[in-house]
Amino acid sequence: MGKKQKKMSQQRTKAARPASQDTVASGASLKELLNADTLAKLKAQSEAMEQNEKQRREEEAARKAEAERAERKRLENDFNYLLENSDPNWSKYK
Q: What is the DSSP letter of 26?
A: T
pLDDT digits (tens, 9 = 90+) for 15-71: 555 555 555 456 778 778 878 888 889 999 999 999 999 999 999 999 999 999 999
Write down the domain spans for the chain: 28-84
Please give the full DSSP string across 26-94, using - where no structure is assigned: TT--HHHHS-HHHHHHHHHHHHHHHHHHHHHHHHHHHHHHHHHHHHHHHHHT-HHHHHHHS-S-GGGG-
pLDDT of residue 67: 97
Query: CB neighbours (10 Å) of residue 24?
Result: 14
